[in-house]
Amino acid sequence: MSFVFNFGIPGLMEVLPEHTRARFDAVGSLKRYRDKQHIQSRGDQTAGFSVIKSGSVVFGKSDREGRFITTAVLEAGQCYGEFTVFGGLPRTHDGYAEGETVISHLSKAQFDQLLLDEPTLAGPIISLLTVRLHHMLEWVDDLRRYPLKYRLGKTLLLMMRGTEDGLIAATQSDLADLMGVSRVAVAQVLAHYKAKGFVGTEYGAVRVLDRSGLKAWLQGFETVDPVVSATPLFTDAAL
């Protein structure tokens, strides 16, 4: 897996002032992981807050048959562990390093003290978590409401944010795991998109050729009016 999928949400470090980022660096304990190395397990009770300094982390769940389905891939600047420090909940996903990865880990005690020392940190964290929840609720509603032809297209538009040429470094198997469907189902939808001129497929990648056309076509599926975000800090108005 070589793509990053984080619902188009920027990392916490991107929206913090320099002095606050420096505090995270001073408090956290750096740990290096090799490619594919295990980082955390679903059900782990360890409470802590982590910031990815370099590389990326694949999060997902493995079923009883050993199939791992990806939920998200977070890159440098992203954080995780908020359920454990704010809610006292166990880890909900397995996590693995994607490439050589460095993570700054803060224990719950260290994180709580940092919030006391830097009270302005609470605002950006709450905003980030709220936006994540918003996107996840939209994802769940789309899953219940719309066919794969819509959901895959919407996901591709999210994944191409920040790219200049529309190239998404994800295989059809990657996309199938992400969407929770078979590779055959993804291939059929991509063939439909190709016939309409929306995308092209390359070795190990998909390239969006007509973003506006795909977006307009997807709108034909929508049965509820979209919510226009009022938080430009965490959104891409062009989508």
pLDDT in tens, 169-219: 889 988 998 888 899 999 999 999 999 999 999 998 999 999 999 999 999
Helix ranges restricted to H, the chain: 18-27, 82-87, 108-117, 122-145, 148-159, 172-179, 183-195, 211-219
Show the beta-strand stretches assigned E in 87-176.
94-107, 167-168
Topology at the third CATH level for domain 12-138: Jelly Rolls (2.60.120)
- Residue pLDDT, tens place only, 52-64: 999 999 998 888 8
Q: Please give the C-alpha separations between residue 141 and each of 70, 136, 138, in angstroms, as whole numbers.
A: 18, 9, 5
CB 132 within 8 Å of CB 9:
yes
Does residue 116 register a pLDDT over 80? yes
Query: How many other β-carbons are positioned within 10 Å of the β-carbon of residue 41?
Result: 13
CATH of 148-221, one of 3.40.50.2300, 1.20.58.710, 1.10.10.10, 2.60.120.260: 1.10.10.10
Q: How confident is the model at residue 162 (pLDDT cuts 50, 70, 90)?
A: low
Chain centre to alpha carbon of residue 155: 11
- Residue pLDDT, tens place only, 75-85: 898 899 999 99
CB 70 within 8 Å of CB 123:
no
End-to-end CA distance of the chain: 24
Lowest mean pLDDT among 71-75, 76-80, 96-100, 146-150: 71-75
Does residue 237 register a pLDDT over 50? no
Q: Please give the C-alpha separations between residue 182 and each of 126, 145, 210, in angstroms, as whole numbers.
A: 36, 19, 25
Domain coordinates in residue numbering, the chain: 12-138, 148-221
CB 81 within 8 Å of CB 40:
no
Report the mean per-residue pLDDT for the chain.
87
* Cα(60)–Cα(74) distance, integer angstroms: 11
CB 156 within 8 Å of CB 208:
yes
Residue with tokens 């454990």: 84
* Cα(182)–Cα(187) distance, integer angstroms: 9
Q: What pLDDT score was predicted for residue 228?
A: 58
CB 192 within 8 Å of CB 221:
no
